[in-house]
Structure 1
Amino acid sequence: MALSEAMRLPAAAARLTGVPGSVPIDATEAEQVVAMLAIVTAAFVEDDANDGSIVDALLADDRLRLALLRLVAFAVRGWHGQSGHFGRVAGFAVAACSSMLDVEPRAAWRGRALLDFGRKLLRMHTLQCCSRRFSEAAAAVQATAAGGGGEGPGGAGGGAGAAAVPAAGDAAAAHVPTAGQQVQPTIALGAYSGSCRLIATMLKLATWDAGAAVPAFTARQSQRFTEQQQLYARELADALRGSCVLEYCARWALHVQLAAAAGTTALLRPPCARCCRGPACGTWC
């Protein structure tokens, strides 16, 4: 079933992300994309060490990997306007991508495919987009907890909240919301937790030990994988440093904890029960 859904996903992703020549997607079809992503995610999560043929087929599908890249870009770049059906697509896309990166590269070609995917995520400025989201979310939690209401940190009710957010470097300072920019009055915790997992799986790929794959890797394959992994790790380190995403992620987590401790839990929206049906549950409710 996962393979048949994976074959349908590239066309749906092209329509959803507005690839020239594609027909726009409606809400009903968006829910179908959610179902496809949930099935693909489950296949990655259930990867069997004894029989990984399904995951092998998914990883070997260039069209599927491209579809996931498009959907992740849709998720991390266009999240301001995403709600309802399309917000769920965004969440399940991030979950599918994270689950794929979390797959064990038990064969050399698997490792190459995953590293290639990870480098493409970096070149798409995925971490920079996540950093911006965490920055805006932290400012929104802080402003709302301070009595800023539903206005954005730069809005009428949230100026003080925005000013209280310290900068974490020139590159990241540009991510603080500007005047007139709206943020949601409640913070969907699952959405940001999904981004945390995506970052964690990107880090895991950089530290995976090819030596543990023996005898799946020959000595030469292990050496080549390590060289490619080091290249990926350098690009990842540059992106982490330039985006300040870990700093903003930590700041968001801190403000969520402070808001909860202060009793302002009304602004912290947990994942909705409707989404809690599978491995991607609650990622973008």
Structure 2
Amino acid sequence: MNERELIKRLDEQDHAFLRRYEQYLEQVMTSAEQLLEKSYTMQQIVGMPFYATGQLGRLLAGYSQDVLATGQAHAAILVQDLHRRFASVKLSQSWQPWFLRDIHLAGPLGIDPETFWLDPTAALTALEARENMLAGDVEGQLWQEVRKIMLQHLQNGSRKETIAAMSNLAKVNVRRAELITTTESTYVYNRGRLAGFHDADVDYLRFSATLDNRTSAQCRSRHGLVLRMGSAELSANIPPLHGRCRSVLSPLFSKYQPEYITPSSTDWSKVAPLPKGWKVAA
């Protein structure tokens, strides 16, 4: 499978998840409308537990596993391409790049949850926990909105307005799902790439942003910067750095491309801070 086919597969995975999410949302809305047929008091509605079947968690976990595998496959293609391009490079046995002699980079990370992506089994376990937490947040907020609509229905008794409110809630949640898909896809895909790069002994990474009028200050300020695989800076600079982030980390081999690893390209002191409340977490 080539790079273009992998990107196409990533898009297909996104669309497939959105279709499944819409089906899940239809089930939630149908269940909510069925509740309208029953006579509940305000106290009963307020005390209802939120709608949670585990279905959304399973959908997100399955989606993450697919995207992680795509990221790993893409990493393999990128690494193979670098080896092929530089196959004729002859290095002196005494050769040592200046940056290993003259600059002290941050030490490697120790055993830490943020390095989970280095081990495929640990990665899947961590991703499942992450997606279950996200699913719980989404379902909890969705059910709060459903209860709010049901309480309003009790107050004014208009079924037509209630159904319209349910329909609008579904549309809002589809848009939210699109944002979740974009952000989660970037998150998991980049970690799949990192796992692939680690397995292939890639020693450096280069931050690559999509530069256009939508590029954020966070990504623009990091574009082209280089960091060592396993360095302390890595965990705080793995995309996504904000909602709808399109940036990626690309592989560099110091033995092939030392010209990319310079004092200016390894200086992360001037990058724009992450958005308020945003945390790059494993």
Shared fold (TM-score, shorter chain, > 0.5): no
Q: TM-score, normalised by structure 1?
A: 0.25
Which structure: greater helix fraction? 1
| Larger RCO (alpha carbons 8 Å, 6+ apart) | 2
Based on CA coordinates, which of the two structures has the bigger radius of gyration? 2
